[in-house]
Amino acid sequence: MEGLSLTVPSGGATKSPEFFGCFGGSKRAAAVERSLKLPSFDYACPATVAEAVALLASHEGEAKPLAGGQSLVPMLAFRLASPALIVDLRKLDELRHIQIADEGVTLGAMVRWKDILEHPRLRQAHPLLVTAVEHVAHYQIRNRGTVGGSIAHADPAAELPGIAVTCEAKIVALGKAGPRIIDASDFFRGPLMTALRADEIILEIRFPAWPKQRRFGFREFTRRQGDFALAAAAVFFDASEERFRGVRVGAVGVADYPLRLATVERLLEDDKVSGAAIAQAEAAASAAVEPADDIHASGAYRKTLIGVMVERALRDAVNRADG
C-alpha cells in the first residue's frame, strides 16, 4: 500500500496525509502510527562519502548512518535510537574494498561478512580474521551486516571489535574536521559506545600484516550457533625455539568492550610452549576479568568460561603449528 514505505525521501515525513485519510480520521491515524514499528525519520541516500559526512554534520548528532541495518533497525524499533535523519550508505561503493598488501589487510566499512568469507585470498592473508568472522550471526545477517556497522555498533560480544583490539588494528574515520586514524584499543569505550564523533563515518579498518608462520586460535561459546558469544578468546603468537613470542590474547563478551588480557600475555611471553604454561594462562585469564551478571549468564560463569576459551584457543594454536 502506498505510504507504508519506511524509507522516505530526504526532508519528507514517513507517511503521507493520503495514507492517514484512508484510515478515516486523525485518531485512527495516530493509533496506526503507534502500531507501526519504526519511529519517523527523514531519509537520505548520498552518492559520495563527502555528501554523507556533510549530512551528518548538518544534523548535529540527530543523524545516523545506515549500513546493513541489522542492528540499527532493531534499535529503531525498540526506540533505543530515534534519529531525525537516516543516512543510507548503500551507494558508497568506495567503501566496499578489500585490500591485501605487504603492510596488511584493509577492509572498507561497507564490506559485508559474506564478502570476507567468500574472498579467495583473505583467509591466507589473515586467517584469524576470517576464522572469527565464521562465528558471526546467521546466513541472512552475514549477507547484510557490515564491518563498519559492527565496529560503530560496538557490541561487547561482537567478534570483529575483539579481533581489531587483539590485532592492534586502526580505524579510519572521516568527519567535518577531516580524516582521523584511531587505534582500536582507544576506539571502544563501553557497551555500544565508541570514540566516533556524531559527524564521522568509518571509512575502513586496517589490520597489520600477518606473518605466515604465526600461530593462532579462536574459540567462542554460544548457546546456539550464530548467537552472540557468551565469551570468546582470540590468541596468537610467533613461536621461536619453542617459546611464546609476541603473544596477544584478546577476550570478548566479558567486559563492556573487547579487551586484551595483558597479564596473560606477560605470563606467556618468552615461556616455553607447554601444557603447564597453557594451564597457567587459563587460570590467569579467569582471574583477569570481572564480568557482570546479565540475562544470558552469571558473571561467575563467564569468568570461568573465558579461561576455558583461552586454554582451548592456545591449544588450537599449538596444534595448528604442529599439524
Query: What residues make contact with ligand FAD under the rule CB under 6 A?
Result: 64-72, 89, 109, 136-137, 141, 144-146, 148-150, 152-153, 158-160, 196, 201-202, 228
Least CB distance from residue 168 to ligand FAD, whole Å?
19
Using the minimum distance from each CB to ligand FAD, give the nearer residue, 14 or 146: 146
Least CB distance from residue 121 to ligand FAD, whole Å?
23
Least CB distance from residue 83 to ligand FAD, whole Å?
8
> Which residue minimizes CB distance to ligand FAD?
149
d(CA 159, CA 162): 5
Using the minimum distance from each CB to ligand FAD, give the nearer residue, 268 or 309: 309
Beta bridge partners of 234: 218, 250
Least CB distance from residue 76 to ligand FAD, whole Å?
9
In contact, 242 and 272? CB cutoff 8 Å? yes
Q: Which residue blocks in 109-242 are alpha helix, DSSP H?
A: 113-118, 122-125, 127-133, 139-142, 147-153, 159-166, 184-187
3-class state of residue 51 by DSSP: helix
d(CA 210, CA 130): 12
Chain center to CA of 299: 22
For CA atoms 4, 9, 13, 18, give the dihedral sign.
negative
Least CB distance from residue 192 to ligand FAD, whole Å?
8
Using the minimum distance from each CB to ligand FAD, give the nearer residue, 31 or 193: 193
Using the minimum distance from each CB to ligand FAD, give the nearer residue, 167 or 201: 201
Using the minimum distance from each CB to ligand FAD, give the nearer residue, 41 or 244: 41
